[in-house]
Amino acid sequence: MLPILNSIKLPDLDRLSLVEQISQMLVVRTCGMLYDHQIQYPRWELTRPDLQRLIGEFGVGGVIVMGGSAAEVALKVQEMQSWAKIPLLVAADVEEGVGQRFSGATWFPPPMALQDVSVKYAEAMGRITAAESLAIGINWMLAPIVDVNNNPENPVINVRAFGITVGEVMGATRAFIAGAQQFPILTTAKHFPGHGDTAVDSHLQTPMLPHDHDRFENIEFPPFRNAIAAGVDAVMSAHIFAPQLDPQNIATLSPPILTDILRGEMGFEGLITTDALMMAGVANLGNAGEIAIKAVLAGADILLMPTDAIATIEALAAAVESGQISRDRIRESVQRIWQAKQKVCGVMPDLVPNLHRLGNPENLQVAQEIASRAITVHSQICHTAENVDLRKLNLLIVDDTLTCSEFLTARSPAVVLPKAQGYHRIVTDGLTMANLDCWQGDRFTQVLIQIFSRGNPFRGNTDFHEQLGQIIEQAIALQKLEAVVVYGSPYCLDHFLAILPSDIPWGFAYSQQPEAQTAVLQQIGLAK
């Protein structure tokens, strides 16, 4: 176990200035890497001087960290906490474990994979993710997702959800939270009032859910009620428009949704946080100050990643001074933040003794078990007598060749195992592929198609599946298709099952990691 964090004494709220109180409601984003020249998203990630000013001078309440290695993040968190007069909430999107965001730690398959193994693994995921988060100073997990992903065309939730039914999501949610609660860390249910039945990515535009209140009560709301009953610490709003719940505002800016339903009907007393305010689903609706004022009036306690932190603080202070927002409303939010910080903000665990808890053999074994078991294989490749005339192609298709290095390299099983059996390799992506004729011609007599595709924020809707279907149909027509393997989204697989002849082997894995690649290729007959 990690050492128990010491309790802290937070200052009396009445001793904080209005600006200091408001600043506690902001969580800003930083790069997990140590140096400014490593910043990957300069529009959203603050330089060291700007970050130090916001923490030390303004007193922002928290930081969300993305990118870098786990060891780098641990060092950076220690430095940021040293700048803070009031301990920081340090958040991270760790829906698939700490290794999803920070290299060196344990990376689990996507949550939906649990439905193919056992929900008992959800408890282990929560426990391991909490332990590894605390080991590097992260005290707020922006997980679990409790959306019911019942729309196959959902580009942003997809396999990040625990399941496609209310029961699947609720069972895994309870287990995940129970595992995390073994440690002094915050958990977050997202994205309220439900983001699973959308076909639009709220990073790029505002989705709409036309359902009436009864539909929400039957599908979207139960997982949130379940998470609240399980003791979840925070609920994150969704940047979606649900006109039957509020005909005027998106959920993040909606008093009827955040205050009347979440606080009133559901009785939630913990933190309400917005989703990232730099997302186009909300950022396009006004400037930073206007959006912040509306979010606070709607009931939000935490403003996550505002597009301009200082402008947000100034606008909220002016709104309080003018009477648009009451001082009591600000105080209510800061009191909730104080309660959360009392739970998690204590003495930072020592760096060196705790880094060995990251990606240790026991934790990795759990992730590997899920990855290797959450697979499906139909039939095997029929190996005929050695034929020197066979010219075999391993066609690897990814969402984006510039972002696939986390799971696909020259050393990955999906590359190495077919190569050992004489396959040539071509890698292409959904942005550049055209059709089979462009790169096969008369060169190859057999084609193995391996597809790495899952729902990804910011990618939006594409005709990726249609293009893939055309390539598969061409390979079938030419009698060259040997097998198809999909890693990632079962919805991607569903697009192709209807066109695959019954004698063509196929395989599927939720995980895109090496363990899953090996397991599928072994069962399909492409590895010994």
Q: Which residues are paired to 394 by β-bridges?
A: 425, 448
Q: What DSSP assignment string belongs to 484-528?
A: EEEEE-HHHHHHHHTTS-TTS-EEEES--SHHHHHHHHHHHTS--
The structure tokens listed for 406 are 């986390």
Say which residues have a Cβ less than 8 Å from residue 194's Cβ, sequence separation at least 6: 147, 148, 209, 216, 219, 220, 221, 223, 224, 238, 240
Q: Does residue 66 sit in helix, strand or coil?
A: strand
Q: What are phi and psi of 427, to 5 degrees?
A: -115, 130
351, 70 Cβ separation under 8 angstroms: no
Identity at 418, one-letter amino acid code: P
Identity at 191, one-letter amino acid code: H
Alpha helices in 188-268 (DSSP H): 213-215, 221-229, 255
CA distance 469 to 110: 24
Which residue from 392, 411, 403, 410 is spatially nearest to 481, judged by alpha carbons?
392
Active site residues: 203, 275
Residue appearing with tokens 């196959």? 152
Enclosing H/E stretch for 35: none
Is the CA virtual torsion 193, 196, 202, 208 positive or negative?
Answer: negative
The structure tokens listed for 60 are 């922002």
Q: What DSSP assignment string belongs to 73-84?
A: HHHHHHHHHHH-
Angle, CA of 128, 133 and 134, to the nearest 5°? 105
